[in-house]
Amino acid sequence: MSNPIRRQVKTVAVIGAGPVGLAAAAHLVERGITPIVLEAGTRAGDSIGQWGHIRLFSPWRYDIDSAARRLLQPTGWTEPEPDGLPTGAELVAQYLEPLAGLLSDHLRLGTRVTGVARLGADKTRTLGRDGRSYLLRTVNERGEWSDVVADAVIDASGVWGRLNPLGAHGLAAPGEESGAPWQVGPLPDVLGAERDRFAGKRTLVVGAGHSAANTLLLLAELAETEPNTAVTWAIRGRSAEKVYGGGSADALPARGTIGTRLKALVESGAVELVTGFAVDAFITGPAGSVTVQGKTGSLAVELEVDNVAAATGFRPDLEILRELRLDLDAAVEAPAKLAPLIDPNFHSCGTVPAHGESDLAHPDEGFYIAGIKSYGRAPTFLLATGYEQVRSIAAALAGDREAADKVELDLPETGVCSSSRALDATTIADATEDAGCCGTGAAAGTDAETGCGTEASGCGTTEPEPVAVPARGLSTGVLHGRAGERVELPQLQSGGCCG
């Protein structure tokens, strides 16, 4: 059981106006509690708009919150076809924008939260701490500062924009800089606004999730019509089977199709795969290209490319919560009670056990992290999970303990589970949250994003494994191979296999 709320809650600050943040506001309104939704972007779902060209693999039936639906239905809103698959742009236009319109009195756009604390008390103060309100320091687009005071806080700000580094060891590699001319995000608009950047160029995609898979599919499609467009895929694990997924066994057909199509492209040589690859350094060339230096086992590899798409997942921004007393798992950086259910060392796919307010509470009562940010560094997330989280939290804040503790989830079967060390309850990925996760898995999205910690990932093994070595872009005297050729190489020891 979580810490009881020791005062009547009248106002709740909600950080983030993505799907889960707006769902939290809808549930609070139904409970007679005033939400104050603080959104750094210029519109609701601002981060999703950055991958609006991507189509989700979860249908609308899993993408709409129940309280949000109840608010929207009396307005004449037309609910999308339940089995339809929206793009990110459609999710915003057909759902989030109408919902934000209804909640406009509670929504503050262009307002970035820079810190959260207990009113009048820093983290070290214990005496008189309980029952204090929360202060949220914010800054607007003009650089003007202001404070917001609320009885409770739900942080649903997601993780979009906070990429895991490309380098090994969990650290950025030398030369890895966000402003580098070759650096692109995890879900570039390859066939649209950014087409010229990739047409006729060499692109390396790094990552072992559906964000990577989607970008690879788009690049392969571009290569069919644009000569000299080369596509290379690098993963740290020894096998890509986790990315290929369950195919026709997946209850979300669009997700299964992604893996099936990618596997065919790799087998045909249209996408050249390098496994067991760890990035050591980036050396930017005078024309903006880059030499990616790394290893496959003990063998040095250099890849010469024009673009590097980083699809290695995300991590939460915990700095803004530094003055709060949190109970976070040391490894996953998720709430301590939730972490064992989603730890990627033991979970790669499956179903998420229902969890709610009591699993998300922290020592500072009335503060919660919800949505994909609540998963910390774990790569798997489903929107329906976040909706159930905030429903339970709103019930608890309203004093309805029975409703808060009655948590339920109706999730599709993934059809791709495979882990000899999996616990009874495993996770499913979809990640359409405002973190940038989408139907491709991240984003921005994941579906068993990496399989880290499972035998299939190759973590902690030294057995030889075939490694696909691309001929294009490899420096002379380092490693050679024809397109599609497979070379036996030893694998890296476990040192963080994700990505």
pLDDT digits (tens, 9 = 90+) for 24-64: 999 999 999 999 999 999 999 999 999 999 988 789 999 99
In a domain, 276, yes or no: yes
Q: Give me the pLDDT at residue 345, please.
A: 77
Q: Give me the pLDDT at residue 380, please.
A: 75
Listed range (308-322, 344-358, 396-410, 424-438) with the worst mean pLDDT = 424-438
Model pLDDT for residues 407-444, shown as the tens digit of each residue:
988 766 553 322 222 222 222 233 332 333 333 333 33
- 195: number of Cβ within 10 Å: 14
Average pLDDT of the chain? 81
In a domain, 288, yes or no: yes
Domain match, 373 and 303 both:
no
* Cα 316 to Cα 370, 375, 424, distances in angstroms: 11, 9, 26
Q: Give me the pLDDT at residue 441, please.
A: 30
Nearest alpha-carbon partner for 448 in 303, 371, 346: 346
Q: Give me the pLDDT at residue 114, please.
A: 97
How are the residues of the chain apportioned to helix, strand and coil, as percentages rounded to the nearest 5?
25, 20, 55
Q: Is 288 left (phi over 0), alpha (psi -120 to 50) or beta?
A: left
Domain match, 227 and 307 both:
yes
Q: Give me the pLDDT at residue 353, please.
A: 79
Residue that the structure tokens 């989830």 belong to: 409
Domain match, 91 and 141 both:
yes
Mean pLDDT of 258-270: 91
CA distance 12 to 148: 10
Domain match, 36 and 84 both:
yes
In a domain, 444, yes or no: no
Model pLDDT for residues 115-155, shown as the tens digit of each residue:
999 999 999 999 999 999 999 999 999 999 999 999 999 99
Using CA atoms of 328, 334, 335, 339 in order, give the dihedral in degrees to the nearest 10.
-110
* Cα 347 to Cα 9, 137, 392, 428, 434, distances in angstroms: 36, 36, 24, 9, 22
Q: Which domain holds residue 186?
A: 168-312+460-489
**Burial of 248 per CB tally in 10 Å (0-12, 13-18, 19+):** exposed
Mean pLDDT of 219-244: 92
Domain match, 320 and 255 both:
no
| CA angle (107 as vertex; 104, 111 as ends), nearest 5 | 145
* Cα 111 to Cα 40, 43, 105, distances in angstroms: 5, 11, 14
In a domain, 429, yes or no: no
Domain match, 222 and 97 both:
no
Please state the domain count of the chain: 2
> Is 35 in contact with 24 (CB distance < 8 Å)?
yes
State both tokens at 273: 């795969």
**Residue predicted with more confidence, 96 or 494:** 96
Domain match, 213 and 125 both:
no
| pLDDT confidence band for 247 (50 / 70 / 90) | low
> Is 498 in contact with 312 (CB distance < 8 Å)?
yes
Cα 184 from chain centre: 16
| pLDDT confidence band for 244 (50 / 70 / 90) | confident
In a domain, 420, yes or no: no
Predicted TM-score of the model (pTM):
0.80
In a domain, 302, yes or no: yes
CA distance 154 to 156: 6
Domain match, 184 and 294 both:
yes
Domain match, 277 and 188 both:
yes
For the chain, the residue count is 499
Domain match, 17 and 156 both:
yes
Domain match, 219 and 293 both:
yes
Domain match, 255 and 273 both:
yes
The Cβ-side half-sphere exposure at 387, using a 13 Å CA radius, reads: 21
pLDDT at 488 > cutoff 90: no
CA distance 351 to 75: 34
Nearest alpha-carbon partner for 448 in 422, 424, 467, 470: 422
pLDDT at 351 > cutoff 50: yes
Q: Angle formed by the axes of helices 383-397 and 19-30, to 10°?
A: 30
pLDDT above 90 covers what percent of the chain?
65
In a domain, 439, yes or no: no
CATH code of the domain containing 204: 3.50.50.60
pLDDT at 454 > cutoff 50: no
Q: Are strands 230-234 and 272-274 parallel, antiparallel or unpaired?
A: parallel
pLDDT at 498 > cutoff 60: no
In a domain, 418, yes or no: no
